[in-house]
Amino acid sequence: MADLPGLVVTGASGRMGQMLIRTITSSDRARLVGCVERSGHDWVGRDVGECMGGPAMGVIVSDDAPTVFAKAQAVIDFTAPTATVEFAALAAQAGIVHVIGTTGMEGDHIAQLTPAATRAVIVRAGNMSLGVNLLTRLTQKVAAALDADWDIEVVEAHHRMKVDAPSGTALMLGEAAAQGRGVSLTDVRDSGRDGITGARKRGDIGFAAIRGGDVVGEHDVIFAADGERIVLRHLATDRAIFARGALRAALWGIGQKPGEYDMMDVLGL
């Protein structure tokens, strides 16, 4: 047991944090060696198992990331963009794998990961599930096979607490569609239509976001032409799919050279 790779979970009390802790502690391929929460959070200083309403796990939630990272081989991080940028520098200092599930990262956040990736392995994806990563490849292939007579729209739905839009997954799918078409998403992205928007511009890739209830995550990629429509769909009903993917990414990353990777690399897609 002591030789299994030691993993840390940041954002331990979050929806994904708790799912990751359950996934790691029920796996026979890794062990949980630390949990991090933000300073001032009421879980800090307490046993994480008891915080989650179960028996003690012997892991005390900490707000001292450098000390916790020093005991681990990898950190799995589903928190928020500014926190993730800080964790990337700390993971690089500790020389451990950084698996990033955090979405809503803007260009300047992503640019700040580059120096960390010269010293450590970073695996980042807007969606860590096998199904969505397969759908991403399919989207790229379908987009490559069709011309701009086929309008591409990405429609996503998530729970009422989600803070970023379009979702990281929707952006991944949009990037794949743009890549298939041989264009840059920045040039063709059309998000947040409202009011008199004018007719749809040929070649644009549109995004629409629905927020409500406890929806785990739903994505449609629509290819709409005159007289016919193709819809590629992924429905997530359990956050365990993201946690399983993240655990797989952490274990895969432990043997790799420093650099930036994604789930396509991990899954060999």
Ligand X SMILES: NC(=O)c1ccc[n+]([C@@H]2O[C@H](COP(=O)([O-])OP(=O)(O)OC[C@H]3O[C@@H](n4cnc5c(N)ncnc54)[C@H](O)[C@@H]3O)[C@@H](O)[C@H]2O)c1
Query: Does the active-site annotation cover 162?
Result: yes
User: How far apart are alpha carbons 15 and 9 in whole angstroms?
Assistant: 12
Question: Based on CB atoms, which residue is closest to ligand X, 41 or 211?
Answer: 41
127 interacts with ligand LLHOTIJI by CB under 6 A:
yes
181 interacts with ligand LLHOTIJI by CB under 6 A:
no
Six-digit token string for 75: 């950190």
One of 31, 98, 162, 244 touching ligand LLHOTIJI (CB under 6 A): 162
167 interacts with ligand LLHOTIJI by CB under 6 A:
yes
Question: Based on CB atoms, which residue is closest to ligand X, 11 or 34?
Answer: 11
Partners of 131 in the beta sheet? none
Helix (H), strand (E) at residue 210: strand 205-211
Q: Which of residues 107-126 bind ligand LLHOTIJI (CB under 6 A)?
A: 126
Residue 113 CB, shortest distance to ligand X, in Å, is 15
Question: Based on CB atoms, which residue is closest to ligand X, 72 or 188?
Answer: 72
15 assigned ligand-binding residue: yes
Q: Which of residues 210-239 bind ligand LLHOTIJI (CB under 6 A)?
A: 217
Cβ atoms 89, 110 nearer than 8 A: no
Please give the radius of gyration of the chain, using alpha carbons only, rounded to the nearest integer: 19
For ligand X, the nearest residue by Cβ is 14
Six-digit token string for 269: 């897609």
Residue 168 CB, shortest distance to ligand LLHOTIJI, in Å, is 4
17 interacts with ligand LLHOTIJI by CB under 6 A:
no
Six-digit token string for 219: 């994505």
| Pairing of the two strands 217-225 and 228-236 | antiparallel
Query: Nearest Cα to 132, choosing from 239, 230, 224?
Result: 239
206 interacts with ligand LLHOTIJI by CB under 6 A:
no
Question: Based on CB atoms, which residue is closest to ligand X, 30 or 188?
Answer: 30
User: How far apart are alpha carbons 92 and 113 in whole angstroms?
Assistant: 10
Residues written for the chain: 269
210-231 residues labelled b (16+ CB within 10 A) or e (exposed)? eeeeebbbbbbbbbbeeeeeee
Catalytic (active-site) positions: 158, 162
| Residues forming the site for ligand LLHOTIJI (CB under 6 A) | 103, 126-127, 158, 162, 167-169, 217
